[in-house]
Structure 1
Amino acid sequence: MSAPHAVVFDTDGVLLDSARLHAAAWKAAFDSCLDAWAASGNGRQPPFDADREYRQWVDGKPRLDGASSFLNSRGIDLPTGSPDNAPGDDTVWAVAARKEAAFVRTLRSGAVHAFADVAPALARLRAHGVCCAAVSASRHARPLLGSASLLGCFDAVVDGTDAADLGLAGKPDPALFLEAAVRLGTDPARCAVVEDALAGVEAGRRGNFGLVVGLDRTKNPDTARALRERGADLVGAELLTVADLVCGARP
């Protein structure tokens, strides 16, 4: 790629140690739904796998899309319902609402922290004049970045609230990343995307970004392979490595 002008970072799992909290909240919601589905005479299914199935069907997507993707993968056909559905098991929106309620309860119990390599990586990029943006499908992204003292480190933030206000499609559609590139004033071809989610890597590739980096903090060969299959140009485990690559490409 040409020397990058900017880097767009996913938030959950890349900047903040929050992906595991999202996965646990989804597990609570999906396992309840699976129990209700079995109690209705549809047969018992294995519980939700908060690692493999979270990454495959849910990670990086808006709540409704994630709920629908997993339920469809299990052959569970629920009515869509509406956004005002209370947390429950009878509609897709109700399952998504149960996840949201579980996640909010988790947030109340303690702060979400940034990974140790985030601050030094961002400082290195800024020292070399590289603009940075944070992107998330979650409406919680801005307050969480603020609580981790990271919000002021970014030239732009695009989150789930922006997506709703602007009608931006969720990943693997590249709309969130493309909006970040617009706010940074750079062409996607001169911009790098850093993602840990399969849907996010696919979004970066669909958006024709100059460099798509898969971040694999699990250091699992299967995860790294899946990220490459979805379109990652390279896979790494440390943000400082990404920062060094981007800064080294600049004149």
Structure 2
Amino acid sequence: MPENLPDLRRADGVLFDLDGVLTPTAEVHMRAWKAVFDGVFAQWDITPAYTDADYYAYVDGKKRYDGVASLLRSRNVEIPWGDVSDGPEVESVCGIGNRKNAAFAAALRRDGIAPYPGSLALITRLRAEGIPQGVVSSSKNAEEVLAAAGIRDFFTVVVDGRVAERDALASKPAPDMFRAGAVALGVNPDASVAVEDALAGVGSAVAAGFATVVGVDRGAGPEALRQAGATCIVDDLIRLLPSTNTDESMENA
């Protein structure tokens, strides 16, 4: 194995983000956010227009309502926070977030989801090696996505948006969620590995004390992931399998 890539078989445990790392649901989330924000921006005459760059800068990796507030704040727009029970028609942070979630849930039910083949190969290998694995996701849909993808049984711990809300864990990039994941998995962050595709998620893992943070480049860009604190960058988790690691498939921090 090239020495620059971590040998996950030697880790105390591995904590994965979900969307964009294990499953291509990040693409579904992106489409749902774009549909919602395009409508909001048009209705309120907000400029400049919403772009994919906004998703990576303000929304990706954060809890749903924090993402809404962050994006609107980037356009100097402040609206009432509202309540988690707000319907999708309500013009509040929670209402807009729930509008997006309805669009995401409808797409998931309609189209289903499958794990990335490389990610499935890696978690299968780690399970065979007896390495504890968990998921740390800001999404409240994590359990549904894991079940739909057929991979829920690989993970003994899932710290998601619902757990974060229940336990008052701050949104990524604060360390709370990855720190809670390590505690729940019973591992030390400095001897474990975090795997993330979002800048906020990389920052969260670094702040939680993970010495090894794998950045998966699904669109955020290797330089941005590196600046956020990723210690190595791959384009597919298949690169972390011992038999397929290549220096050409990753970039060093």
- Give the TM-score taking structure 2 as reference length: 0.87
Q: What runs of 5+ residues in structure 2 fail to find an aligned partner? A: 1-5, 246-253
State the Cα distance separating 1:98 from its structure 2 match.
1.4
The equivalent residue for 1:187 is: 188
C-alpha offsets along residues 134-176 of structure 1, whole Å, 9 cap, x if unaligned? 1211121112111211011112111112112212111111211
SS, match of residue 82 in structure 1: coil
C-alpha offsets along residues 229-250 of structure 1, whole Å, 9 cap, x if unaligned? 11111111121223439x9xxx
In 2: Cα distance, 1:143 partner to 1:112 partner: 10
In 2: Cα distance, 1:243 partner to 1:193 partner: 16
**1:155 is aligned to 2:146:** no
In 1: Cα distance, 2:109 partner to 2:221 partner: 30
In 2: Cα distance, 1:167 partner to 1:106 partner: 29
State the Cα distance separating 1:126 from its structure 2 match.
2.4
In 1: Cα distance, 2:69 partner to 2:198 partner: 17
State the Cα distance separating 1:127 from its structure 2 match.
3.0
The equivalent residue for 1:12 is: 19
In 2: Cα distance, 1:167 partner to 1:80 partner: 17
The equivalent residue for 2:233 is: 235
Contact 2:79 2:93 in 1 (8 A): yes
In 2: Cα distance, 1:74 partner to 1:167 partner: 27
C-alpha offsets along residues 22-51 of structure 1, whole Å, 9 cap, x if unaligned? 11111111111111211xxxxx524321x2
Contact 2:22 2:120 in 1 (8 A): no
In 2: Cα distance, 1:92 partner to 1:158 partner: 23
Q: How do residues 1-251 of structure 1 correspond to structure 2 at under 5 angstroms? A: 3-38=10-45, 44-49=46-51, 51-88=52-89, 90-218=91-219, 223-244=221-242
State the Cα distance separating 1:196 from its structure 2 match.
0.2
AA aligned opposite 1:19: A
AA aligned opposite 1:73: S
Bigger Cα displacement from structure 2, 5-14 vs 158-167:
158-167
In 2: Cα distance, 1:164 partner to 1:105 partner: 23
Contact 2:133 2:156 in 1 (8 A): yes
- Give the TM-score taking structure 1 as reference length: 0.88
In 2: Cα distance, 1:171 partner to 1:244 partner: 30
Change (3 A) 1:183 1:244: farther
Bigger Cα displacement from structure 2, 170-179 vs 10-19:
170-179
C-alpha offsets along residues 89-136 of structure 1, whole Å, 9 cap, x if unaligned? 632222112111211221221201110112211122223332111121
SS, match of residue 158 in structure 2: strand
Q: What runs of 5+ residues in structure 1 fail to find an aligned partner? A: 39-43
SS, match of residue 144 in structure 1: helix
Bigger Cα displacement from structure 2, 83-92 vs 24-33:
83-92
Cα RMSD after superposing both structures: 2.0
